Amino acid sequence: MKFGIVGYGSYIPKMRIKTEDIALANGQNPSKIKSGIMVNEKSFASKDEDAITMGVEATLNALLRAKIDKYKIGAIYFGSESHPYAVKPSATVVGNAIGLDDFYTAADLEFACKSGTAAIVVSAGLVKSKMVEYAIAIGADKAKASKGDILEYSASAGGASFILGSPENEIVATIDKIVSLSSNTPDFWRRSLEKYPQHLGRFTGEPSYFAHISKVVEKILDEEDMKPSDFDYVVFHQPNGAFPRSIGKRLGFSSKQVEVGIFADNIGNCYSTSTLLGLTLVLDCAEPFQKILVVSYGSGSGCDAMILTTTEVLSLKQKLAKTTKEYIQSKSYINYFDSLNNI
């Protein structure tokens, strides 16, 4: 049975903060930072925006593209590192906001930056098994970092939502294969009641991000007897602009395959949204019958790798909602000190 994405949507707050402004406030060298992490500016959520509001906006866009009977949605899974409530689901707020009845299953997920793709994995299982007709998978975050930490230059905000289903005449991209990898690698964490996350610096690179993504990509390509050149696009998790380009080169993907899904240069790292937002960029411009490899990474640590194939339906739905590129281009700059007061 074929199944996959029938609708997708994104949301990025309009406000931006430039790397130079953050560096100036912290007495740091902006040129060195920009060349190191390849982030020129980042998105910033205003006081009345949080993971839920961004998840709702992204889901409304996904519904515009899906064009389905929303009362046939049987599940909502919401991945985030910044759920507004410690005890109260974000997923049910989304369900209420988009006008669903009460007959659906819902849960919030947390696995650092891969909780958004984890929501897709869970939703895919429910749709493929026919337990539900449609399922919504969301990744949204209002990321935070302590003053002066390198994360402050990239921690940003955004949301992405995907509606999964099985009617062939509705699918914009089939999900052909999923491989997940999980390990106890504590490279990044935030304990209960702590406001900001902590990390092990360079340890978050080689033994964490790069090692995990390399393993899961090798596994999924081996199981499907595929090679990097078989794909039209590849989307990696983007903690910054440097890492996805570096891992793509290491694994044998061309810059042409990687660059379409890159947004971190101008948006930063919106955590659980990161991989999903890259996928929306690709879907916004992909053509029918193209192969997409999507690989998330979440500290703690793990990856979800997925192979997708676009369909002829995609071209009919791409312009039914605001594109991710339009969100990226729609921006208004604020200064660093305004950001400290959260506007």
Which residues belong to the active site?
A: 81, 113, 237
Inter-residue contact 238 to 273 (CB < 8 Å):
no
What's the start-to-end Cα distance of the chain, in Å? 49
Is the peptide bond prior to 315 cis by the omega test (within 30 degrees of 0)? no
Give Cα 3 distance to the centre of its chain. Answer: 20
Are the beta carbons of 138 and 78 closer than 8 angstroms?
A: yes
Asked if 277 and 267 touch (Cβ cutoff 8 Å), the reply is yes
Q: 336 and 17 in contact (C-beta within 8 Å)?
A: yes
Distance, in Å, from the CA atom of 36 to the CA atom of 19, rounded to the nearest integer, reads: 12
Tracing tokens 């919401």 back to the chain, one arrives at 78
Which single residue is written with the structure tokens 């406030």? 25
Identify residue 19 by its one-letter amino acid code: T
Q: In angstroms, rounded to a whole number, what is the distance separating the alpha carbons of residues 187 and 206?
A: 11
Euclidean distance between CA atoms 22 and 155, whole angstroms: 12
Is residue 86 packed enough to be buried (19+ CB in 10 Å), middle (13-18) or exposed (0-12)? exposed
Query: Phi/psi of residue 301, each to 5°?
Result: -145, 160
Please report where in the chains the tokens 């402050």 appear, as a residue: 152
Six-digit token pair at 116? 């958004």
